[in-house]
């Protein structure tokens, strides 16, 4: 396992935006099941560990093929805690059990059920080829702070967020991206010694917008389920 990937899903029990989100039925399966099955379909990933503070989530995760070797401490399962701390907790557990770290931690969030196994594989290929600290997924942003986003100044006047280049055409604005939650591939040594993913060398895999939705609200869930049904019908 030292030269293999450790796939993990971090699923708290307390979702405020959409209560019970991680196990809510999404096109016939609990949302977390889609993430587990996506991960297990990728070459190089032989098992998936779920880090959760909720026994119900743990039971469902095991049913769909994941391992749940512990329940995450409550203090690492609140809205205020950075997920990187949960990553670190899992890696410490893994090291204690095995005496070494995996090649990389592959975090597969439950909130992107339109993800394909090939999206994860592209992240792994990028990690192997470019040797970054972190690989994330992105899609082209709908709004661009160099052209069509404004902020309020102290004297109640509004201005373009980034106006240093005096851009007047959308085509001339630098391309910007939204971070997606399809997958993160992270070097274990980086997780153990840093407090944020942008503290190191970050590479990105661009994902089509039609697979990039991140479920946070009931509306997000309905839109994602509708799009997913269309894909399954093709």
Domains of the chain plus CATH, in order, are: 5-138+178-232 (3.90.550.10), 142-175 (no CATH)
Q: How far apart are CA 172 and CA 19, in angstroms?
A: 42
| pLDDT band, residue 149 (cuts 50/70/90) | confident
Q: What is the pLDDT of residue 131?
A: 96
Each residue of 11-47: pLDDT tens digit? 998 777 788 999 999 999 999 999 999 999 998 888 8
Q: What is the pLDDT of residue 1?
A: 53
| pLDDT band, residue 184 (cuts 50/70/90) | very high
Query: Mean per-residue pLDDT for 181-186?
Result: 96
- 198 contacts: CB under 8 Å, gap ≥ 6: none
Q: How far apart are CA 192 and CA 88, in angstroms?
A: 6
pLDDT at 168 over 70: yes
CB neighbours (10 Å) of residue 159? 10
Query: Mean per-residue pLDDT for 50-65?
Result: 97
Q: How far apart are CA 4 and CA 105, in angstroms?
A: 9
Q: What is the pLDDT of residue 234?
A: 58
CA distances from 139 to 178, 180, 223, 227 (A): 5, 7, 17, 17
Query: Mean per-residue pLDDT for 59-87?
Result: 94
Query: What SS3 state is found at 45?
Result: coil
CB neighbours (10 Å) of residue 162? 16
Contact at 8 Å (CB) between 135 and 197? no
Q: How far apart are CA 10 and CA 97, in angstroms?
A: 19
Q: Which residue's entry shows tokens 């869930």? A: 221
Q: What is the pLDDT of residue 232?
A: 67
Q: What is the pLDDT of residue 223?
A: 94
Share of the chain above pLDDT 70, in %: 97
Query: Mean per-residue pLDDT for 193-208?
Result: 95
Mean pLDDT of the chain: 91
Each residue of 89-142: pLDDT tens digit? 999 999 999 999 999 999 999 999 999 999 999 999 999 999 999 999 999 998
């Amino acid at each position: 396992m030292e030269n293999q990937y450790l796939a993990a899903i971090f699923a708290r029990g307390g979702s405020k935006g959409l209560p019970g989100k991680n196990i809510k039925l999404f096109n016939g399966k609990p949302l977390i099941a889609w993430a587990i099955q996506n991960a297990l379909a990728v070459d190089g990933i032989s098992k998936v560990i779920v880090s959760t503070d909720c026994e119900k989530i743990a039971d469902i995760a095991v049913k769909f093929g994941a391992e749940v070797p512990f329940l995450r401490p409550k203090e690492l399962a609140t809205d205020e805690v950075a997920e990187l701390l949960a990553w670190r907790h899992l890696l410490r557990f893994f090291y204690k059990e095995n005496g070494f770290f995996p090649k990389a931690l592959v975090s597969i969030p439950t909130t992107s059920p339109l993800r394909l196994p090939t999206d994860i594989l592209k992240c792994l290929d990028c990690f192997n080829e470019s040797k970054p600290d972190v690989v994330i997924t992105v899609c082209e942003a709908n709004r661009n702070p160099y052209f069509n986003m404004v902020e309020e100044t102290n004297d109640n006047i509004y201005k373009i967020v980034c106006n240093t280049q005096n851009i007047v055409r959308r085509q001339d604005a630098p391309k910007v991206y939204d971070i997606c939650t399809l997958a993160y591939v992270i070097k274990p040594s980086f997780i153990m010694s840093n407090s944020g993913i942008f503290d190191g060398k970050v590479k990105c895999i661009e994902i089509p917008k039609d697979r990039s939705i991140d479920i946070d609200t009931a509306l997000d869930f309905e839109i994602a389920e509708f799009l997913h049904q269309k894909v399954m019908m093709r």
